[in-house]
Every structure is written in C-alpha cells, then in structure tokens.
Amino acid sequence: MKSFQNKVAAITGAGSGIGRALAINLAGQGCALALSDVNSAGLAETAKACEAKGVKVTQTKVDVANRDAIYAWAEASAKAHGQINLVFNNAGVALGAAVDGMKFEDFRWIMDINFWGVVHGSQAFLPYLKASGDGHIINISSIFGIIGVPSQSAYNASKFAVRGFTEALRIELDMAKSPVSTTCVHPGGIKTNIARAARFDDNMKALIGQEAEQGKARFEKMFITTPETAAETILKGVRRNSRRVLIGPDAVAVDLMQRLLPTGYQKLVGLGTKLQMSKGK
C-alpha cells in the first residue's frame, strides 16, 4: 500500500496518544476513518480534528475486550464507508505488578485488552480487508514484546502474545497469497498517558523502591518519542510492507541488545532495575 488516499482505516484507542496521531496523520493524507475508543470525550476530539481535514469520519465507543462489540463495529464501519483497507489494533493498557502477589483480575484485565483486543480486531476486520483487495493489519506490540522486564510480566505476556499472533498471521496470509498483509509494531517509550492510566500494585514499591505514583512519574521520564513521530514511523512501515517496525532509539537499542545477548540481556536488565531501585530509595 503506497498511498492512503481514498483508503479507509479503522483505529482502536483513537482517543489519545498514538491512535489520535495516526488518525490525524491519515486524515491529512485523504484517508477516511472509522475511529473507536472507550473514552468518548477523547474520541470526539480526535474525530473533530480529523473532520477538519475534509475526510469522512465515524466514531464509536468500543471496548476492545468485548468481542461482540468489535464485530458489530467492524460491520457498521464497512457499511458506513463502503470498504475497510486498514485496521490499527492500537488500544492498550499497562500494569505494574510483581508475579508474586499479582491479582488475577488485573492479569485478566490487561490480557483482555492488549491481547484479545488485537485478536478480536484482526478477526473481525479480516473479511473486509480481503474484500477491499488491498488490506493491512497493524498490531501494536511493544519493545516489552521483545524482552522481559521485572514488574511487567503481565504486560510482557500480552505484548509477546501480540507479536507471536501477528507474525504467525503474516505467514498464513503470505502462504495464501492474500491481498492482506500485517505489520507488528514495537514502540519504545512514547509520550502518552499509558503510564499515568496504568494499574500499579501497591506491592510495586517493594520492587522499585517508591510509591506507585512516583513510579509512574519515573516511567514517564523515560518516554522520549512523540506520538506524532511514532505515527509517521508506523505509516512508513506500512507503505514498505514491513513485517516489524521499531519506534524510537530506545526500541532499536533494546532490540539490538536482545539479538546480541538473547538470554544474557536478563542479567543486564536485572542490574538496571536494581540501580533504579537504589535511586528510588
């Protein structure tokens, strides 16, 4: 897909962050939009900004964890726009908790959104993407879908799962000579509100040496890439039909570390975590 002009893109988590940046960027390139989010206010703001660029925009409040809701949104979007060419399964949440003592409800919550939301969106839109004759599925994983990190086991699990699912789907589509392709995206630290909106277990302070709110602030300081830059990088990857897209110098560095030290990186991450703990005390 070399151009987004006169295409239609469906985006989850479009009310803020990367989702909003993708929507505005695509609208500026003449791409119509089917937007969704659980945050109606943020979604409306994104829709307004995109409509100002002269493209057709529909907006729907959707919880990506709800399979029936995603299928209904996909059907309604295809009817409203006549076709769907791209789906960006972008909605996601974060959870900071050590495995020892993590609440099952929190683990299920993050998997339902980060992983099952991607599965639901991919399966629901796939028939419409095939029918368009030129379709693309873009699933947002994370650099934490490439390496494991203390306190992020549940987030790691969800993002590793997105990576495996997307890569397997890409191979299936290639084998079938399908008109649909996939790209798995691995952002590093992006300046969004994901950390502030994250769930942090109170026991986290025993691991990171500080209160949860302080921990969120420290995480946010490590976010170095803007959503707008992330969106531009993602769309370049789609145009190139890239199988994997890394976003930010931190993501590139971490990916290189994992390649050079596929198991040894764990000791380095452990040492880095201990250093952060000592600074937080």
Q: Which helix (H) or strand (E) holds 268?
A: helix 265-280
**71 vs 16: CA distance, rounded Å:** 22
Half-sphere exposure of 91 (CA within 13 A, CB side): 33
DSSP 235-258: HHHHHTT-SEEEESHHHHHHHHHH
**213 vs 25: CA distance, rounded Å:** 32
Given 71, 128, 155, 265, the catalytic residue: 155
**145 vs 127: CA distance, rounded Å:** 27
Q: Give the total residue count for the chain.
A: 281
DSSP annotation of 193? S
- Residue 71: active-site member: no
**38 vs 33: CA distance, rounded Å:** 17
CB burial of 260-269 (b: ≥16 within 10 Å; e: otherwise) equals: eeeeebeeeb
Residues designated catalytic: 155
